[in-house]
């Protein structure tokens, strides 16, 4: 581990700035969060993309959202194979231990992961089709979604939204998610945000379309 280095100076500086202001002015609040534990009302599944600012668009404070981020905000289908499933572990903990009332899947515009999936499915990304590509194998989750939208004139945009629907569908394959939904203790929500415009749309299951929030 000798290649691990101390933080770069600009981050050290920023941290001390936050400790002296953001933390210091709210220290009682942070103390309470530490003492009382977390009780988030919602889990959010969003993309790793640095432009997707989950807490900013909802004005959320620490302790409000249990957030899981991965490439293209995907939830894989329920699978009991003894392998290591990070996303499924996060869903399990949120639903069965934290008892969140909502699971929100948040897709976004200009998603590089989704674009990669389109390229892969259209034969333009052999590096993603290679069995050694973690991104490619992860994006396989979205292949059935691509098949549904492939005739759309804007396949990347259509697939960004379809990825949200795929994740919502896969969430319901988890027995503990289905049980909580059936019991009326959990609701699922699908959202897509336009980074440039700041717009937010929600998936309406009645029409199968996204509409402005
Ligand atoms: Zn993305």
What's the number of CA atoms in the CB half-sphere (13 Å) around residue 210? Answer: 24
What is the distance in angstroms between the CA of the first residue and the CA of the last residue of the chain?
A: 47
Average pLDDT, the chain: 97
Q: Could you give the CA distance from residue 88 to residue 69 in angstroms, rounded to a whole number?
A: 12
Q: Ion ligand 1 — residues with CB under 5 Å? A: 47, 49, 111, 113
Give the tens place of pLDDT for each residue, 137-196: 999 999 999 999 999 999 999 999 999 999 999 999 999 999 999 999 999 999 999 999
Ligand 1 centroid from CA 76, angstroms = 16
C-alpha 160 – ligand 1 centre gap (Å)? 8
Q: How far is the CA of 199 from the centre of ligand 1 (A)?
A: 16
Ligand 1 centroid to residue 74 C-alpha, Å: 10
Long-range contacts of 138-144 (CB under 8 A, 24+ apart): 138/70, 138/71, 138/72, 138/74, 138/113, 139/71, 139/72, 139/74, 139/113, 141/74, 141/76, 141/77, 141/166, 141/170, 142/72, 142/74, 142/114, 142/117, 142/166, 143/117
Q: Which residues of the chain have pLDDT under 70?
A: none
């Amino acid at each position: 581990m000798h290649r691990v280095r101390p933080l770069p100076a600009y981050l050290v500086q920023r941290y001390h700035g936050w400790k002296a202001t953001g933390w210091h002015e709210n220290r009682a609040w942070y103390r309470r969060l530490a003492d009382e534990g977390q009780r988030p009302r919602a889990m959010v599944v969003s993309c790793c993309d640095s432009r997707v600012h989950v807490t900013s668009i909802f004005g959320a404070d620490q302790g409000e959202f249990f957030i899981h981020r991965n490439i293209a905000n995907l939830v894989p289908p329920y699978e009991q194979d003894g392998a290591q499933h990070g996303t499924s572990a996060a869903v399990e903990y949120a639903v069965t231990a934290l008892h969140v009332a909502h699971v929100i899947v948040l897709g976004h515009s200009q998603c590089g992961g989704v674009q990669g999936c389109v390229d892969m499915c259209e034969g333009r990304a052999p590096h993603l089709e290679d069995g050694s590509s973690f991104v490619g194998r992860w994006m396989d989750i979205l292949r059935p979604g691509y098949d549904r939208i492939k005739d759309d004139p804007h396949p990347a945009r259509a697939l960004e939204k379809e990825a949200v629907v795929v994740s919502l569908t896969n969430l319901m394959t988890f027995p503990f998610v289905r049980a909580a939904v059936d019991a009326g203790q959990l609701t699922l929500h699908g959202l897509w945000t336009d980074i440039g415009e700041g717009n937010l749309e929600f998936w309406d299951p009645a029409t199968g379309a996204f509409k402005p929030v």
